[in-house]
Amino acid sequence: MASGSTLVTVVGIEADGMLPGTAVELVASADVVLGGARHLALLPPPLDGQERVPWPSPLRTGLRALLRSYAGARVVALASGDPLVSGIGTTLVDLLGTGAVEIVPTVSSVALARARMRWPAERCEVVTLVGRDAHLVLRHLAPGHRLLVLSADEHTPGQVAQLLAGAGYGASRLTVLGDLGTPEESRSEATAATWEGAAPRLHVLAIELAGPLTAGWAGGLPDDAFEHDGQLTKRDLRASALARLMPAPGQLLWDVGAGAGSVGIEWQRAHPACRTVAVEADPDRAARVRRNADRLGVPTLEVVTGRAPDALAGLPAPDAVFVGGGATRPGVLDACLNALGPGGRLVVHGVTVETETVLAGRQAELGGELTRISVEQVDAVGSFRGWRPQRTVVQWALTR
Report pLDDT for 6.
Answer: 53
Report pLDDT for 19.
Answer: 84
Report pLDDT for 2.
Answer: 43
Provide the b/e sequence for 121-133 (b: ≥16 CB within 10 Å): eeebebbbbeeeb
Handedness of CA 54, 59, 63, 69 (dihedral sign): negative
Is 161 exposed, middle or buried (CB count within 10 Å of its CB: 0-12, 13-18, 19+)? buried
Determine if the pTM surpasses 0.85.
Answer: yes
Q: What single-letter amino acid sits at 114?
A: R
Report pLDDT for 86.
Answer: 85
C-alpha distances out from residue 147 to 126, 159, 163, 194, 269, Å: 6, 15, 14, 18, 17
Give dist(CA 383, CA 386) in Å, integer: 10
SS3 letters across the chain: CCCCCCCEEEEEECCCCCCCCCHHHHHHHCCEEEECHHHHHHCCCCCCCCEEEECCCCHHHHHHHHHHHCCCCCEEEEEECCCCCCCHHHHHHHHHCHHHEEEECCCCHHHHHHHHHCCCHHHCEEEECCCCCHHHHHHHCCCCCEEEEECCCCCHHHHHHHHHHHCCCCCCEEEEEECCCCCCCEEEEEECCCCCCCCCCCEEEEEECCCCCCCCCCCCCCHHHCCCCCCCCCHHHHHHHHHHHCCCCCCEEEEECCCCCHHHHHHHHCCCCCEEEEEECCHHHHHHHHHHHHHCCCCCCEEEECCCCHHHCCCCCCCEEEECCCCCCCCHHHHHHHHCCCCCEEEEEECCHHHHHHHHHHHHHHCCEEEEECCEEEEEECCEEEEEECCCEEEEEEEC
> What is the pLDDT tens value at each position of the chain, 400 positions in all?
444 455 899 999 988 778 877 788 899 999 999 999 989 998 988 878 899 999 998 888 899 899 989 988 999 999 989 999 988 999 999 999 999 999 999 999 999 999 999 999 999 999 999 989 999 999 999 999 999 999 999 999 999 999 999 999 999 999 999 999 989 999 999 999 999 988 999 999 999 999 999 888 889 999 999 999 999 999 999 999 999 999 999 999 999 999 999 999 999 999 999 999 999 999 999 999 999 999 999 999 999 999 999 999 999 999 999 999 899 999 999 999 999 999 999 999 999 999 999 999 999 999 999 999 999 999 999 999 999 999 999 999 999 9
Cβ proximity of 275 and 252 under 8 Å? yes
Helices 262-269 and 283-295 cross at an angle (nearest 10°) of 30
Complete domains list, the chain, with CATH = 8-107 (3.40.1010.10), 110-208 (3.30.950.10), 223-399 (3.40.50.150)
Is 20 exposed, middle or buried (CB count within 10 Å of its CB: 0-12, 13-18, 19+)? middle
On the question of a cis peptide bond just before residue 200, with omega within 30 degrees of 0, the verdict is no
